[in-house]
Every structure is written in C-alpha cells, then in structure tokens.
Chains A and B, each alone.
Chain A
C-alpha cells in the first residue's frame, strides 16, 4: 500500500468532482459542528458540581417534612455542627444561606448584587475554592468581614488590591460597611452553589432575622442558632474517606429522631453533592441554585445525536453514490492484481480523509455558534479550556474518524463485491438504480425533520396558548411596578390623583410570578390534618385592581377597613370549609373568595391559596390604567415616581412582558428545536441535492433520448420527482406517530394544555414535500432543458 500514492490520487479525485465533494463536506461540517456544541453542553451539564474538590464525599442534609410531605434541603442550622460534634465520620461541615436583595455601592450609587451567600471559612477547604488574595483568619469571628470573588474584585475595585478596603452593602434600607478580607477564585460555571460575595454567618443570621415572615414574634439570632426547627440553612457535611453511607445516614436519621418533638418531627437523610443538580426536582430549597432538567438534557442530547446520525447517514449516502462512479477504476485495479482488502483499505482511507477535512471547519462552526446556542438554551457557558472541553474535542475527533471509516468500509465492501466483468462493462455505475438502503436513509432524514418541526409547532402553539389563556386576571391596562425601597403609601396617594389611574394596589408578588411561599396549615374542618397551601400578601383593593371576580364575600377594602384573609376557590375544598365567609383559618378570618387564578405558569395546576392583608409586605405595585392616553399616563407615573423621591429609575411591565419571563425556558426550547429542525433539513437537503445531482449526471443520456423521442420538459421533471415524492410520503407516515407521541409527552408537564390540532402534523409533511421537490426539481429542470444533442454526443 502506497500512502503517498493513495493520498494524491484521492485528492485529485475529490478536486475533479468539486461540487459533490463540497456538498458532502458541507453536510458533515454542519452536523459535526452542532454535535460539538451539544457535546460541550451535555458534558458541562453532566459535570455539575464535579469541579469541586472532595465532591464524592460531600452531602447535604435533607429533611422529610412530615407536615407537608415535602423533602426540604434546608434544615436547622444546629444540625450541621451537632452532627460534626457527635459523629467521627464527619470530617468537616459548612452552611449555606443565600442572602436576597443585596445592593452594593459602586461609585455613588447602589447596584443590585444578586448572588450573595453567607457561610463559614470551612466552606473553602471543603469545596476546594482557592483563596487568591488575603486570608480567612478571623472571618468566622463576625468582625464585619466580607469575601469577594475574582470577578467581583474586578467589578468593584478595578485592578487594585481589594484586601483591606471597604465594600458597602445595603438591604432593607440599611447600609453595612464590610472589610474585604480575601479574594477567592470564581466558582465553576457548572455548580449549584455560586456567589460573587460571601459574608459571614452573623451577617446572614441578622439578615434572616430581619426578613423572616413569621406568624408570631420573630426569633432572635440566638434562637435561630439553637433551634431544631429551621428551614433556612443548607447543611453540608464532608464525610471521611471510606465512610459507609448507609451506616452514617442511619446515625443521622437517629439524631433527627432524638431531636424531634411533637410539634417538630425530623426525618433526616443525605443527598450527594453531585446529585443535587438533577435530583432536586421535588426538593424544596430556600437556597436554590441552578436546577437541572434531566428530561430537557435528554431531549437535547437525543436531538444532537439525531442530527449526528442524519449527518452521518447523509455522508454515507453520498459517499456510496459517488463511489459508484469509481467502480470501474476499482475493477481495473483488481485486474492489475489488487487484493480486495487493499481496495477496501483505499476507500476507507479516502473516506476518513474527507471526514477529517471536515473536522477543523466543524470546530470553527462550533466555536462561533456556541455563544448563540448557549444563550438559546438559557445558560451562559463559556468555552473555556476545562477538561470537559478537551473531552468533547477528543470525542468529536473519534466520531469523525469513525464516521469516515464506517462509511468507507460499508461502501467499499459493497462495491468491491460486484462481479468484475459486469463492472468493466459499466453495469454497476448507475446511481439511479433501485438501492433500498439509500432510500431508507433518505426517508429517515425526512422523518427526523418532520418530527422536529411538528414538535416545534406544538411548542409554539402551547406558548401562544399560555399567553392568551384566561389567567383569572384582567390583563388590559394592568401595569406592575417593582417597589424597591420607594415610599409606597406616598406614591399610591399621588398617582391616584390622575383620573386615568383607575385602581392601585400591591402585593408581595403579582400574578403571574415565580416567587412561591409554601405554608402548611391545619384544615379548618379537621385541625389534626395539615394541608399545603400557597401564600401571598397583598394590599387593599387587590382583587379589584387585578380584575379578579370576588365570588363570595368582599375584597380587602380600605373604606370598610376589613382585614383577615381571602382565599381562592380551590382553597374552599382543601381547607374543608362550609360557610366559608367568617370561618377562621390559621392566618385569620376569611373575608372573601376570589376566582381561581394562575399565580404561576400554566405548568402548574392551581393550588389552594391564602391571601393575607399586609401593605407593608408589598414589593410590587399594581396599577390599572385606562386604555386611552396610555403613553401620557405612563409618563405621569414616571414623573410622579421621581417626584415622590424615587432614586432607582422607574421600571414597569405589562403582564405580557412578565409572561415572557415566566415562559422563558419554554420559548427558548421552541427556538432550540426550531434551530435544530432547520439544521436537519439543511443537511437532508444537501443530501437530496447531492443525490439528485449524481442521478441527473448519470441520466444525461437517458434524458437526451427521451427528449429526442418527444418527451416534454414537464414530463421529464415529473419522472424525476416521482421517486422522491414517494419517499417523502413514507417518511411522513413513519414520522407522524412519533411526533404525536413526543408532543403528547412534552405537554404532560403542563397542567393546562392546548389542543393537538391536525395541522401540527400536516404542516411539516407538506414542508418536507415542498423542500424535497424544490431541491430535486432544480436538478431535474437543468437536466431536462439541456440540449439532447449535447447529451447524446459523448456516448
């Protein structure tokens, strides 16, 4: 075998048939490019929390709450230290408490800094987060120190050394000057624990004490530290090497049992750090980090895999069709004494060569499309040189070579098996021959496209439905304004003066929202039974402003000065109410019932809800304005905001803007699927184009003869397209049930679904047909309009 000889002959062959080579390469580049992106993404997702040191020995304590039947990731503060004291298996422990609503002073203004947590210094050793500058000594002694990430250091201090300098924090209107004790390295992108600022436990406890929503007197910091009744801290335990997990878990469980009393039953278990990202679907967590969606990842990986298969199939198809033009040359080589193996090897070599040519372009494509796709999927991954990145490159190289080798091998085995004499006569050079495998492969590609488009259409329809469904509130003219630390009562008073402002109210969260408050309260008819309800705090006139119907009783009304709680319709049954109005719940007397409304996304069914009256708890202002003069009214609201002392710029949203945020991931999902569908069809079209080009080249003589014997251009085109139309029809029949099943499955995550109309499935079929016809017709039209004399001349 002469490698140099092979190489130069292969290159010459590829160059002489440029069009086909480019088509073949393009499909492969596109496919491999997408696969590279999906690979990096999937590996990043699977690698969540795996960048931490000691990751295999870190667990967090989970409590199975007996009263509401939920598993909670937040457990009493004291659990961690007690476990560490009592059990030798615990090498170290650390807490996590996420602090909300922190603003940091930069220059002369305060900007929001969302990712802040408080923990102990043991955290850094445990998780392997390096200290780049400064020291952790005295951090735990609550001396008003703060730790900042490398990014935060750059943000607030530029290039200067921040250690020893002061960072001013603010929450709930009060400022805190913290001294920067150290700078730590940025958390890995793929972790469920992330923070740009880390405060000490005292700071966190103080913040908690101030902000706790409780139904009695708020606890003191000391009580928070010692109580076995707590749902705010995440306890992480680092277990010694070789600890038996089940053995230790039993001990921990016993600890919980020992500390339980009749009002507080503790049922402890452990969750591995590496399980948190995907395994926390049903876990309630007040220190929530990124939550992975296993099914979405699976879908992404499957679609990525599908694209790969489509691209490889394409490559195989085109290679095999092109190879038929080579059969004669191979037969000649056989006559010159070539053993079949060397011919097979030659073809494999050439095929791998082509696929390797595609590789660098695919990597380039992947590199440039990565940020766009990452954003589409809702993650801000960056292409950094992590081990995951290197793994994906290696995997990609392997896939490329495997594709080339496998295609080359399969094709070579087939065409070197042809009978020598027939081949020399030219009998095995015809691409247009009935080749069942090729047919099946084209059908498969088309089917993939149809399924993807159907899913995308359905997702779009569902999103559209989500936006237009009756949410139980009146969306028209309803504006929401985040309150911040503005003077609520003053602002309310001033804007009411404008006749275009019809109603004003407020709430902790205005529906639809993401914020959730879970409370378990006793049923009214059977206080021994507990029921999980959602909670909300609102201002007077809430129902009226939101356009909700008051089904029974009345709204909170300033003029009537009624207080108590309102409930939604679902709560009537859940709480076991009979007379309803006037009945006493754990939070107060019921004054009114509003119609069921979608507080959250329509993924969730409506649950029983208790609405309490507390204007001071409102964080969002709801303003109903008249539909006339909207721009002027909004201008007025903005001016009044400033004139009533607004430091933060005026910000407002209509309900549809909020819906965009709530359904962000679904919208993104539909865009992603759409993108993948487009890629699939481009690859498939390239394949069809290449095939039809080859066939038309081969059928030149036949077409010439047909024309000379009187066929019209239209008839020739029809002849050409007929086969392809049949293939698309078969693909449609195969794809539709799969599309139906997939769309149904996706809809299952919604409590409120749109209808699966027939056109969702018909549309992609027609689209596929149209694209196939377009691709093929162009070739056939070119072939059909060529001068027959030309075609017949080179016989």
Chain B
C-alpha cells in the first residue's frame, strides 16, 4: 500500500526500486505501467495526465509505449518462442513479412535463432526470460517495466539478463525495475528505497 510517493523519472533513466515485502514496490510499478490506478494523486506521462484513461487509450499505451517483463515470465505455453515474441506485433497490426523480419532480428540478437520453434517448457529459466524481454521490446517501446526480472533465476542467468537490460538502456530505453537483489539493483543508474509505502532513499549512482 502506497502512502505518499512523489516520483519523477526522466527519459533514458535506469531506475531500480527496492524495498522489503509489502512495501508497495510492485503496486508502484503497476501504477506506472497503467495496470493499476492510484486511489489519489496524479500521474503524467510526458506531461499528459494518464489518470482515468479509457480502455482504448490504455491499450494504445501498452501497444506503442510500454513493455513488461515479469518474474514468472508469463509466456504463453501453447505458443512457440517465435509466436510469443511476435504477439505484440500482431496487436499492432504489423504485416506478416515485417513481423518475420523484426522477430528474426531479435532472435539473432539474443542468440536464440535455433530455439525459435521450441515451446517455453523446453527452455531454461534464463532463456524464457530472454524471450520475455524480446517480446517486451519488439514493439520498440520507450519504457520498459520489469517486476523482479531475475527473481526466478540463478546468479549467472540473472547477470545475463541484467546485462541485456543495461545494453537496452544504453541504446536509449527508459527502464524501471523492481528488485530484491542489491547487486542487480546496482546495474541501474538510480536506486529508490521504498518502505511502508514511502520513499526513504533516492540515490543516483
């Protein structure tokens, strides 16, 4: 439960939100990601208020502006790696040939070309998260939101994921992640500490 949060995030930032369980980190992330709404207060994206948006407008933001990565990956089990990654493009109305090209690019970048016809159950945790990231970024969103992206992964896999995120941030993507892990929080450029619904610390690195 968030009590009083005042937060401003600039374009291109890499923000890590940390805090104990129940501090409201995920809630904050959900609000930012328009998956949830605050009970009071304001929220603007690029100086436009995004409170009380209609469904259609929210969908618009999800399609064109934001990408999500989850701790549990949330890949669709009945679809192959290829199909999972291309899903956002289908909702954007991208033509089949263009989709093929875009997905191929990402598969290449993440070294997953050989795995494109496999199903999520056949991949390791790290690989699944990579697919999750690919899906999240294929629509070239400006903002990437990650809820404990390394929570289900071993150290080495986690590092790989964080490095990938860092790369993306260097390329200009704004990233906000929620994490427990001090070390992985450090990949970000700014760390916020949430406790009992209030920001206790705000440190730029």
Contact = CB atoms under 8 A, between A and B. Distances in A.
Interface of A: 2, 5, 9, 12-13, 16, 328-329, 331-340, 342, 420-421, 424
A421 B90 contact: no
B90 A339 contact: no
A337 B92 contact: yes
A5 B59 contact: no
Of B36, B68, B74, the most chain A CB neighbours within 10 A belong to B74
Nearest to B138: A336
B78 A12 contact: yes
Interface of B: 30, 35-36, 55-56, 59, 62-64, 68, 70, 74-79, 83, 87-88, 90-92, 135, 139
B135 A421 contact: no
B89 to A, nearest CB: 9
A328 B62 contact: no
A297 B36 CA distance: 57
A329 B75 CA distance: 8
Nearest to A12: B78
Of A9, A336, A420, A421, the most chain B CB neighbours within 10 A belong to A336
Contacts of B77: 16, 329
The A interface is mostly helix, strand or loop, or mixed, namely helix
B59 A339 contact: yes
Contact of B56 (A5, A339, A420): A339
Contacts of A336: 62-63, 87-88, 91, 135
A344 to B, nearest CB: 13
A421 B35 contact: yes
Contact of B78 (A16, A334, A338, A420): A16
B79 A9 contact: yes
Contacts of A334: 62
Contact of B35 (A12, A335, A337): A335
B67 to A, nearest CB: 9
B203 to A, nearest CB: 28
B78 A337 contact: no
B68 A335 contact: yes
Contact of A337 (B59, B70, B76, B83): B59
21 contacts: A2-B90, A9-B76, A9-B79, A9-B83, A12-B78, A13-B78, A16-B78, A328-B74, A331-B74, A332-B76, A333-B76, A335-B62, A336-B87, A336-B88, A337-B59, A337-B64, A337-B88, A339-B55, A339-B59, A421-B36, A424-B74
Nearest to A340: B55
A13 B78 CA distance: 6
Closest 6 CB pairs of A and B: A337-B63, A337-B91, A12-B78, A336-B88, A337-B62, A332-B74
Contacts of A328: 74
Nearest to B76: A329
A404 to B, nearest CB: 19
B35 A333 contact: no
Contacts of B87: 333, 336
Contacts of A337: 59, 62-64, 88, 91-92, 139
B68 A5 contact: no
Given A336-B88, A421-B36, 14 more contacts: A332-B75, A332-B76, A333-B76, A333-B91, A336-B63, A336-B135, A337-B64, A339-B56, A339-B59, A340-B55, A342-B91, A420-B35, A421-B30, A424-B74
A653 B88 CA distance: 80
Contacts of B74: 328, 331-332, 335, 424
B71 to A, nearest CB: 10
Nearest to A13: B78
A180 to B, nearest CB: 70
A770 B93 CA distance: 54
A2 B92 CA distance: 12
B90 A5 contact: yes
B204 to A, nearest CB: 29
Contacts of B88: 336-337
A99 B100 CA distance: 81
Nearest to A335: B68
Nearest to B74: A332
Of B70, B74, B78, B79, the most chain A CB neighbours within 10 A belong to B78
Contacts of A331: 74
A333 B91 CA distance: 9
B173 to A, nearest CB: 17
A706 B59 CA distance: 43
Contacts of A339: 55-56, 59, 91
A316 B55 CA distance: 28
Contacts of B62: 334-337
Contacts of B35: 335, 420-421
A270 B21 CA distance: 88
Contacts of B139: 337
A331 B135 CA distance: 15
A154 B87 CA distance: 67
A433 to B, nearest CB: 21
Contacts of B79: 9, 12
A14 to B, nearest CB: 9
Contacts of A335: 35, 62, 68, 74
Contacts of B83: 5, 9
A334 to B, nearest CB: 7
A338 B59 CA distance: 7
Nearest to A333: B87
Contacts of B68: 335
Nearest to B61: A337
A540 to B, nearest CB: 87
A181 to B, nearest CB: 72
Nearest to B75: A332
A342 B93 CA distance: 12
Nearest to B59: A339
Nearest to B27: A421
Nearest to B26: A421
Contact of A9 (B64, B78, B91): B78
B57 to A, nearest CB: 11
Contacts of A5: 83, 90
A9 B119 CA distance: 12
A187 to B, nearest CB: 57
B162 to A, nearest CB: 22
A5 B96 CA distance: 11
A331 B30 CA distance: 13
A383 to B, nearest CB: 40
Nearest to B64: A337
Contacts of A332: 74-76
B22 to A, nearest CB: 14
A711 to B, nearest CB: 30
A554 B62 CA distance: 102
A16 B70 CA distance: 24
Contacts of B78: 9, 12-13, 16, 329
Of A5, A16, A331, the most chain B CB neighbours within 10 A belong to A5
Contacts of A420: 35-36
Contacts of A16: 77-78
B38 to A, nearest CB: 13
B96 to A, nearest CB: 8
A111 B56 CA distance: 81
A340 B79 CA distance: 20
Contacts of A342: 91
B76 to A, nearest CB: 5
Of B36, B75, B87, B88, the most chain A CB neighbours within 10 A belong to B87
Contacts of A329: 76-78
Nearest to B92: A337
A421 B33 CA distance: 11
A582 B87 CA distance: 102
Nearest to B33: A335
A337 B61 CA distance: 8
B202 to A, nearest CB: 25
B91 A338 contact: yes
A331 B35 CA distance: 10
Nearest to A6: B90
